[in-house]
Chains A and B, each alone.
Chain A
């Protein structure tokens, strides 16, 4: 371990006896993740840096990735249409009701929330162990929606949560990535939620089932493909027939 924790994991506070037991345990945490996301996933490499943030309030959590100055330090390639809002991968987890809500924009500029089952990953726990700074972390693997993920979690922070939809492990996910490192999260800071750090959880009034999400994707793909087929070529021997490949982070298909 090259560096020590700047702040100790444990701060001894004298909370013995009735003074402690009379308090209600507040389980509110603010986790900051260093995040890299390959905007060209499955096609090339265009890794951009984001700030990932996981806010935990008792049985609910809210994760989002926000762009920073560094995200745009690198020029957008003119070859790509980069669709990016200020926040990406918004995920609300509800542990009481066992579901997640995630947002999708789908080029409509209108944010829609869809519901999905909480922590569907079937984790394979391994005995691989490493220290991330002073945190003892264990390795777990899973295959989820078309990608193999690796997560390093710590039992020292016994919160079964993690960035994005990742979670459901015995401890907080400290580092996680897919096997091709198209997405990468590394915990940088873990604090109690303070008045300064609180962010409002989105107030989701309308949510749609996951099946609707898949249906919308298919409809969208169909429309775009038809549009791109309507290219003029003008010349005799050329038949312009544009095709488009769609790249979605979660690879899902209709049942």
Chain B
């Protein structure tokens, strides 16, 4: 083993040691090479270590190159060392090394190594990694990076963050998925009414925005149930914590338009509080309106079972609908609202939350309407009317919640909600042409709702979960409707001499829902199943008083009419989701059950035991990281909607009669949906193709029923209806133009087979629209957005193509964005609408904002600069054309200051 080279080396070392002394450190350089003992083949990738004998310390090391050569150069304290030569396939050599002089240079050493006598074989290491957490599905945005001058509220901040989209109603989505909750420092203060926060909370408070995918309120379900929901958690900047922090804005216009809002937060470990106050008369929504809370859409929260939702009164006074032109136009408004949300930690794992709110809204709208209704070839019904409407709403809301969750295997939540809504609406309408009519209506609505919801979740030792949920909802509404008209004179079964009609409607409804749900996950399969008990009970009583204008005639009090709807059911449900490999997810589920149905009113008196079901299938394939294909199919046989069964011949708004359903129908519907999405945000390309087709049988359809004599809104029995929608959206970033081009196409084909005037007819409604957008991203302070859209609508009754209603509409806007610095932003928005032939309008708005200090900004808005006084909107419905002329809010210049401290 010890070759001649090694022998010489030792001697040389001893010689060196004997001749050098008297230095504390040595500059040591060793170079040499390794070769195999037998064939002088260089040995690469061996390690040469200098170690201190008796310790684990490795002082220096080197590796041999492909020629087997190595060099070590190091400053070493004088003393004894050892040179270790290691290679996986050769026996280790250890050579003593004594350093005793200031400079040591071992040159051209040659080591001959022998193969290992023990061949190294397999090594299997049994050791577990530590300190690694596989939890966490949160994406975080640092708010500061998105704080541009125009950012005022949370909504503005999110709009700047990639992945977020906010629609005109303030609904937030993230990568196409609807946001479920907005939390503040992990606290869910507003429940699903997150718009209260997103539209009000000052962005200056926010430090980070965290996106939580697969959000679930229930901690124990997070790893089992693929909720598909997204939550947002707001991290508040440290400087705003543990004290009362305020922010707000005040704006004033010389012509009396005003806006003011304030929000304050108080966030500590034990208590979190947010309060909001808003006022405006500039046509904006009252953004802290607690109405967001009970207007929230609770439908379709679960693929297979229904959840209880809130009811509402069914009578309305005349209504002047605002144009659907992607903006709200109000002539005059006064909106005030206030809300406070709190949460307290009462003890370990116990939390209490509360929410109190009040909103008052006053809106006055005026407009003119021209309506032409085609009944038959011989009958055309035309009306012109001048309309005035005033809506006054007072809403009160309170919620209290208790939660217990000590991080163990059980948690629960209990909520009580109280809502009261008072409406006082008035409406006047003077009509002429086919019907000469003066109509005045007023409606007082009082709705009171109490709701309780509670849930308990248990996890057992094998990690399966049981969730029990109980919901109870009791609602009472009292509606008092006054109507003064001459429309009824000839056409209804009402004494034509009675011109004043007073109607009182009282509605009581109770809903109870008890669900037991078991959930479990095995590897790539998760499933749930359960049983649901539900009871829906609804009662109406009404009386109608017709009073003549002639004092000599007595009033007629119609006998009290009533209606009752009862539905109790028991159903089973199940859902299974299987992930196949990386790319495919299959979901299959269904629910079915038996119910007891009892409907009683003046027309119907029936008791039945109908069977209902809903089946759901979804296949989702992630073709690549950026391409997804989705197929959904749903088949449902549902029960009749309780709202369709009320006292017969209710008088409702716009001098129409609200007819009850005359038949009990069990709708059967199926829907197929195909979606292909290719979205590469990084390459700037997107293609969305969505096709959906649904067929409904036996459904009642809310429809306007027209005759030359009168109008009525009623549930028309239908045999079959079909709806097909197609959406194609594509966008591409064009690098040479530094611009993005977007094209969006929508098409809809609808065919409804319904009874009109007791004759079964096919009503066909088709529409198509295309929008092209061009958005620049020049590296300049000025950029533009241009958009143009063309839409086509047609409507006709089968066999009456000559009576086809057709409408072309065009819309375009141009926006110039000026951004010279991080502190200043300005924009000019030009809108052009061609709503129908010879009917167009233009509108220009301007906006400029200067961020004066870190916590203060000043803005100026010029609204409706050209002072367009009115717009006309032409719409077509199943059998009519309507042209509405709206008075717009007048031009104003509003100066506004925003602050926070």
**A-to-B contact residues, CB < 8 Å:** 2-3, 5-13, 15-16, 20-21, 23, 25, 27, 29, 34, 36, 40, 43-47, 58-59, 67, 69, 71-84, 95-98, 107, 125, 127, 129, 132-133, 135, 138, 155, 157-161, 168-172, 174-175, 181, 184, 186-192, 223-224, 226-245
Contact = CB atoms under 8 A, between A and B. Distances in A.
16 contacts: A6-B126, A25-B36, A71-B582, A75-B214, A129-B56, A160-B63, A170-B49, A175-B127, A188-B125, A189-B124, A190-B123, A190-B125, A191-B121, A226-B738, A230-B684, A232-B785
B118 A10 contact: yes
Given A75-B226, A82-B625, A21 B37 contact: yes
Contact of A158 (B88, B579, B735): B88
Interface stretch (B39-47, B270-278, B753-761): B39-47
B269 interface: no
Nearest to B142: A245
A160 B146 CA distance: 46
Interface string B19-55: 0000000000000000011100000111101000001
Given A107-B680, A188-B124, A230-B775, A46 B137 contact: yes
A159 B45 contact: yes
Contact of A25 (B115, B133, B137, B819): B115
B324 interface: no
B160 interface: yes
Contacts of A72: 579, 581-582
A170 B125 contact: no
A236 B46 contact: no
A236 B56 contact: no
Contact of B148 (A158, A168, A241): A241
A181 B131 contact: yes
A47 to B, nearest CB: 5
B625 A81 contact: yes
B132 A11 contact: no
B355 to A, nearest CB: 28
Contacts of A229: 777
Nearest to A158: B86
Contacts of A44: 136-140
Given A107-B680, A245-B145, 4 more contacts: A36-B132, A46-B137, A78-B214, A237-B847
From DSSP, what is the main secondary structure of chain A's interface residues?
A: loop
Contacts of A107: 680, 682-683
B265 interface: no
Contacts of B127: 132-133, 175, 186
Given A34-B129, A75-B214, A75-B226, A227 B121 contact: no
A218 B57 CA distance: 43
Interface of B: 36-38, 44-47, 49, 55-58, 61, 63, 65-66, 84, 86-90, 92, 114-115, 117-127, 129, 131-140, 145-146, 148, 150, 152, 156, 159-163, 174-175, 177, 211, 213-214, 226, 228, 230, 326, 523-524, 579, 581-582, 622, 625-626, 680-684, 733, 735, 738-740, 742, 773, 775-777, 779, 785, 787, 813, 815, 817, 819, 825, 827, 829, 845-847, 849, 859, 861
Contacts of A228: 162, 681, 684
B124 A158 contact: no
Contacts of A75: 214, 226, 579
A9 B120 contact: yes
When A and B form their complex, which 6 residue pairs have the shortest distance between CB atoms, in order from nearest? A45-B136, A158-B86, A227-B684, A230-B740, A170-B47, A229-B777
Nearest to B137: A77
B139 A15 contact: no
Contacts of A175: 127
A239 B92 CA distance: 69
Contacts of B61: 125, 169-170
Nearest to A9: B123
B49 A79 contact: no
Contact of B88 (A8, A29, A81, A132): A29
Nearest to B732: A227
B230 A78 contact: yes
A25 B125 contact: no
B777 A226 contact: yes
Contacts of A172: 88
A80 B162 CA distance: 11
A159 B88 contact: yes
Contact of B86 (A58, A170, A235): A170
B214 A77 contact: yes
A174 B61 CA distance: 18
A164 B160 CA distance: 37
Contacts of B625: 81-84
Contacts of A230: 684, 733, 738-740, 775-777
A67 B738 CA distance: 37
Residue among B115, B127, B581, B735 with the highest chain A CB neighbour number at 10 A: B127
Nearest to A14: B117
A140 to B, nearest CB: 9
Contact of B742 (A5, A132, A232, A239): A232
B687 to A, nearest CB: 15
Given A77-B213, A227-B733, A15 B115 contact: yes
B837 to A, nearest CB: 26
Nearest to B581: A72
Given A78-B175, A79-B211, A8 B121 contact: yes
Contact of B845 (A76, A96, A236): A236
B58 to A, nearest CB: 5
A29 B122 CA distance: 10
B777 A223 contact: no
Nearest to B156: A238
B230 A158 contact: no
Given A9-B120, A232-B742, A138 B58 contact: yes
A147 to B, nearest CB: 16
Contacts of B152: 237
Residue among A3, A27, A58, A234 with the highest chain B CB neighbour number at 10 A: A234
Residue among A25, A172, A190, A231 with the highest chain B CB neighbour number at 10 A: A25
A241 B65 CA distance: 53
Contacts of A59: 44-45, 66
B826 to A, nearest CB: 9
Nearest to A2: B126
B312 to A, nearest CB: 30
